[in-house]
């Protein structure tokens, strides 16, 4: 199995990446140590966002790695309070500056908030200028894609969405496949949901392969041609999450996991996502 997924424009995206959501820098340099562990384990695809507050720390860690920038695949996202054409251009430039790079491998609209169509036009222009290699979205539903389709010159190439065995996104996956939109999973391990790791089916499959439940879940994603960005601050788990290519799941095991879909999210429903004034105010306090 390939360790890359190919975007509609031919760009190769590492199928296994490293997410940095909620991993913060501190005075002891813990963030950089975690990134160093990830790089040493073999990760080259790193996923961040303006709202995470760690773009600068990630850029610093990568810059100090001794590895050429072109060997990394860097993703960031424009946050909802930066939507709009000019605002998105500025947000992109700020993210590049913090990440210490002149271009991004992938840039996404984080949510379909107000003015996301204007933001998509900005991404199209940045892509045409060669400043972004892959343009896409996160947390978009079919209705959002249909709205974009009416006005876009270039359709989103990828959608980063909540996906795990308890929430498999099958209908949206089928739509995305028809429109050549890659599927990227955030929260691929169910955000550490205890019930997922205690599931009898997953535990049985894990024992049969002498792997952990987490490894089985991540392998399930890979078998579905999904790009994944698991995160961990634990050096052992960072390595464990990379150790997915010496086993495979049978068709029967894939069918068993397919039956675990509850259709229930662990997070916000993008269909009803709106930015209220209080949330906007708080966001502006926390991101600079």
Cα distance between residue 196 and residue 194, in whole Å: 5
- Residue 223 CB-half CA count within 13 A: 20
Catalytic residue among 52, 107, 116, 127: 52
Q: Do the beta carbons of residue 266 and residue 191 sit within 8 Å? A: yes
Token pair of 143, please?
Answer: 């209705």
Q: If one looks up domain 4-286 in CATH, what number appears?
A: 3.20.20.100
Tens digit of pLDDT for each residue in 16-70? 999 999 997 776 779 999 999 999 999 999 999 999 999 999 999 999 999 999 9
Residue 288: what pLDDT?
A: 39
Residue 272: what pLDDT?
A: 65
> In the beta sheet, which residues pair with residue 134?
106
∠ CA 223-227-232, rounded to 5°: 105
Residue 197: what pLDDT?
A: 96
Residue 270: what pLDDT?
A: 86
Q: Do the beta carbons of residue 283 and residue 81 sit within 8 Å? A: yes
pTM for the full predicted model: 0.93
Buried b (16+ CB within 10 A) or exposed e, 66-81: eeebeebbbbbbbbbb
For residue 66, give the DSSP letter: S
Token pair of 133, please?
Answer: 């290699």
DSSP per residue over 221-273, as a string?
Answer: HHHTT-EE----S-HHHHHHTT--SS----HHHHHHHHTT-----SS--GGG-
Residue spans of the domains in the chain: they are 4-286
Q: Is 21 a catalytic residue?
A: no
Residue 274: what pLDDT?
A: 52
Mean predicted lDDT score pLDDT of the chain: 93
Beta strands in 56-203 (DSSP E): 73-78, 104-109, 132-138, 158-162, 182-186
Residue 280: what pLDDT?
A: 46
∠ CA 270-276-278, rounded to 5°: 130
Mean pLDDT by 10 residues, the chain (288 residues): 88 98 81 96 98 96 97 98 98 98 98 97 98 98 97 98 98 98 97 92 98 98 98 95 97 98 89 52 41
Residue 229: what pLDDT?
A: 98
């Amino acid at each position: 199995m390939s360790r890359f997924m190919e975007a509609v424009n031919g760009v190769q995206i590492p199928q296994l990446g490293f997410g940095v959501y909620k991993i913060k820098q501190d005075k002891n340099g813990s963030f950089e140590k975690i990134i160093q562990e990830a790089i040493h384990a073999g990760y080259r695809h790193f996923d961040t966002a303006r709202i995470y507050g760690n773009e600068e720390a990630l850029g610093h860690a990568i810059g100090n790695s001794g590895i050429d920038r072109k060997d990394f695949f860097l993703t960031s996202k424009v946050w909802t309070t930066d939507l709009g054409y000019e605002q998105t251009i500025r947000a992109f430039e700020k993210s590049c500056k913090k990440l210490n790079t002149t271009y991004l491998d992938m840039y996404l609209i984080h949510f379909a908030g107000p003015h996301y169509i204007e933001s998509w036009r900005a991404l199209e222009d940045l892509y045409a200028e060669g400043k972004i290699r892959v343009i896409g979205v996160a947390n978009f539903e079919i209705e959002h894609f249909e709205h974009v389709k009416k006005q876009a010159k270039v359709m989103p190439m990828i959608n980063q969405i909540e996906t795990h065995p308890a929430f498999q996104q099958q209908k949206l996956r089928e739509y995305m496949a028809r429109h050549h939109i890659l599927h990227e999973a955030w929260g691929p391990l169910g955000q550490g949901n205890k019930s997922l790791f205690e599931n009898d089916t997953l535990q049985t499959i894990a024992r049969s392969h002498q792997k952990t439940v987490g490894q089985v879940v991540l392998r399930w994603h890979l078998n579905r041609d999904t790009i994944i960005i698991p995160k961990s601050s634990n050096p052992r788990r960072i390595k464990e999450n990379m150790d997915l290519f010496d086993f495979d799941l049978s068709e029967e095991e894939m069918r068993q996991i397919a039956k675990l879909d509850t259709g229930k999210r662990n997070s916000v429903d993008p269909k009803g996502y709106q930015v209220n004034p209080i949330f906007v105010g708080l966001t502006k306090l926390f991101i600079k």
